């Protein structure tokens, strides 16, 4: 029902995603309502479709972003019952437009952090610039709840000064050649990763995997559905 979820406004779009049960949790709906997609999509922001944003990157369709947040939700929100996660740490690899980075930042609470990683500085700047279009976004940037970095997403990311800290949730917004060992190493226990993987190496067969690590460090993987993402790759050579 994704194609039926487009709307004339941000609220229309989110209400349609809710009506079509692509968003099922009230807190997820509220987070999406707080982030106007018009600040992130170059045109037709309330269409439920992907769009190019330059530099061979795209902003995913809203229903894909909704699926990512719905699957990661238990690890995005602060938990009083889990002393390991009073302030969720979230890594958004291939943050692109910054849209999903901003949505997840609405869920992690005042002490949480979402770090968006891009492979070229132009995309890092794009995400930061888009978030800063709203007063709320500027607050999240200034507080440090949202941070944008440049790096090789296949290697994950270690924040300077926070070398011992791992990620409660990892979202990957581009098709990886595999579930990279460095990402698994950096995933907290417990923690969850939402990652599209290129099954055949040619980009024709991609599936999103939900990868869980439990309290003992045991890893389980579940194939969710087929997708078509741009590849998680090197920065272009100058």
Active site residues: 60
Cα separation of 177 and 179, whole Å? 7
106 contacts 34 by C-beta, under 8 angstroms: yes
16: helix, coil or strand?
helix
Strands in 42-112 per DSSP E: 51-54, 57-59, 89-93
Strands in 63-119 per DSSP E: 89-93, 113-118
164-195 burial code (b ≥16 CB/10 A, e <16): eebbbbbbbbbbbeebbeebbebbbebbbbbb
59 contacts 50 by C-beta, under 8 angstroms: yes
Question: How far is residue 53 CA from its own chain's centroid?
Answer: 16
> Of 37, 31, 35, which is closest to residue 8 (Cα–Cα)?
37
Residues near 132 by beta carbon (within 8 Å), at least 6 away in sequence: 138, 141
HSE at residue 116, side-chain half, CA atoms within 13 A, is: 33
């Amino acid at each position: 029902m994704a194609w039926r979820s487009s709307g004339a406004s941000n609220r229309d779009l989110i209400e349609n995603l809710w009506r079509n049960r692509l968003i099922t949790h009230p807190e997820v709906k509220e987070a999406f309502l707080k982030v106007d997609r018009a600040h992130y999509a170059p045109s037709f922001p309330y269409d439920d479709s992907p769009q190019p944003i330059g530099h061979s990157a795209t902003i995913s369709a809203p229903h894909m972003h909704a699926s990512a947040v719905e699957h990661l939700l238990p690890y995005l929100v602060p938990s009083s019952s889990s002393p390991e996660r009073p302030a969720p740490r979230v890594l958004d690899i291939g943050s692109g437009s910054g849209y999903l980075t901003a949505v997840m930042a609405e869920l992690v609470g005042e002490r949480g952090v979402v770090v968006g990683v891009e492979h070229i500085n132009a995309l890092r700047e794009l995400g930061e610039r888009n978030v800063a279009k709203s007063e709320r976004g500027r607050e999240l940037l200034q507080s440090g709840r949202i941070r944008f970095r440049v790096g090789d997403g296949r290697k994950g990311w270690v924040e300077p000064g926070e070398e011992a800290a791992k990620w409660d949730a990892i979202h990957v917004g581009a098709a990886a050649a595999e579930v990279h060992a460095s990402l698994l190493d950096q995933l907290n226990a417990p923690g969850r990763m939402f990652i599209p993987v290129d099954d055949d190496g040619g980009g024709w067969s991609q599936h999103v995997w939900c990868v869980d690590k439990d309290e003992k460090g045991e890893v389980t993987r579940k194939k969710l559905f087929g997708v078509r993402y741009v590849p998680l790759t090197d920065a272009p050579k100058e």
